[in-house]
Amino acid sequence: MVNIIITMVSRFLRGIGSRMIARVWRLGAGTRLFMLAIIYSGESFRRFHLTLREVYFTGVMSLLIIIVSAFFVGMVLALQGYNTLQKYGSSEAIGVLVALALVRELGPVVTALLFAGRAGTAITAEIGLMKTTEQLSAMEMMAVNPIARVVAPRFWAGVISMPILAALFSMVGVLGGYLVAVPLIGVDDGAFWSQMQANVDVRADIINGVIKSVVFGVACTMIALFEGFDAPPTAEGVSHATTRTVVISSLTVLCLDFVLTSFMLVV
């Protein structure tokens, strides 16, 4: 009886331990891939059309989902904000509320979450399938470095696209908020913009939002690339890797957001 319990407990502990070790191993491998992508990124700038093509697929193709969701997020923020603010008789502050919420938090974070779902999964599936069909091995046989040819352009494309998408998200969201607040609810037009301009600081709010989105761009793209690179070369493996990309990217973005915000608010 005691023996059975001891075996069960030890098996349980061993399971936790092996999982932890696997995670740490994957973290190390991911960091190595990140370093390699940076070391070999010279190629992706010399042959810039490779990077440009990836910017098209990750950035331009994400425009629609970003703009439409930004519009609705801005509108809903204005509606909800008005509902609360009018109780305190300060419905003119709605512009500040919408702009600060979007520029500081929702712009970078929601963009990163949508980016992970829209572009990150595509990157993982593409690279996973390249590995499954042995295209990456074929490249190596032809003395083409797959990290320089496949990983680095996608990495830089993600890093370039994310701040642009986040800035667009914030701007379109503010316009959506404006549309609900001013013509629909009837908040004063001048007060909406002037209060916003008085309370949104370029360095403390807008530049910090851009910094956040660059960091999220690095994290999301790198996770997608690593999951694709690390996927077992089977159909099931690629499907699991794609799921993991979304889950890990979302969690990483939300955790990083907290860390970055706490740094930015202190400084």
Partner 1 sequence: MDRTKIDLWVGIFVALGAAALLGLAMKVGNLTSSKIGDTYSVSASFENIGGLKPNAPVKSAGVVVGRVAEINFDAKTYEAVVTIKIDKRYQFPKDTFANIYTAGLLGEQYIGLEAGGEEDVLKTGDKISQTQDAIVLEKMISQFLYNKASESGKDKASAPAAGESAKAKSTELGDAPF
Q: By the criterion CB under 8 A, which residues form the site for partner 1? A: 49, 52-53, 55-56, 59-60, 63, 99, 103, 160-161, 163-165, 167-168, 170-172, 174, 193, 196-198, 200-202, 205-206, 210
Neighbours of 161 (CB within 10 A): 28
Distant-in-sequence, close-in-space partners of 95: CB < 8 Å, separation ≥ 6: 177, 178, 181, 187, 191, 192, 193, 195, 196
Neighbours of 76 (CB within 10 A): 15
Looking at the Cβ atoms of 25 and 56, the one nearer to partner 1 is 56
Give the residue with the Cβ less far from partner 1, 114 or 136.
114
Q: Based on CB atoms, which residue is closest to partner 1, 43 or 252?
A: 43
Residue (140 or 201) nearer to partner 1, CB: 201
Minimum distance of partner 1 from residue 59's CB (angstroms):
5
Side chain identity at residue 176, one-letter code:
G
Q: Please identify, using beta-carbon distances, which residue of 59 and 228 lies nearer to partner 1.
A: 59
Instruction: Give the nearest distance from C-beta 147 to partner 1 in angstroms.
Output: 23
End-to-end CA distance of the chain: 59
CB of 19 to partner 1, least distance (A): 41
The count of residues in the chain is 267
Locus of tokens 């963009």: 111
Which CB atom, from 91 or from 250, has the smaller least distance to partner 1? 91
* Closest separation in Å from C-beta 168 to partner 1: 5
Alpha-carbon gap, residue 120 to 111, rounded angstroms: 12
DSSP label at residue 87: G
For the bound state, the minimum distance from the C-beta of residue 29 to partner 1, rounded and expressed in Å, comes to: 31
Min dist CB 143 to partner 1, Å, is 24
Say how far apart CA 125 and CA 132 lie, in whole Å. 10
- CB 248 → partner 1: shortest distance, Å? 26
User: In terms of CB distance, is 137 or 197 closer to partner 1?
Assistant: 197
Q: What is the DSSP string of 18-86?
A: HHHHHHHHHHHHHHHHHHHHHHTHHHHHHTHHHHHHHHHHHTGGGHHHHHHHHHHHHHHHHHHHHHHHG
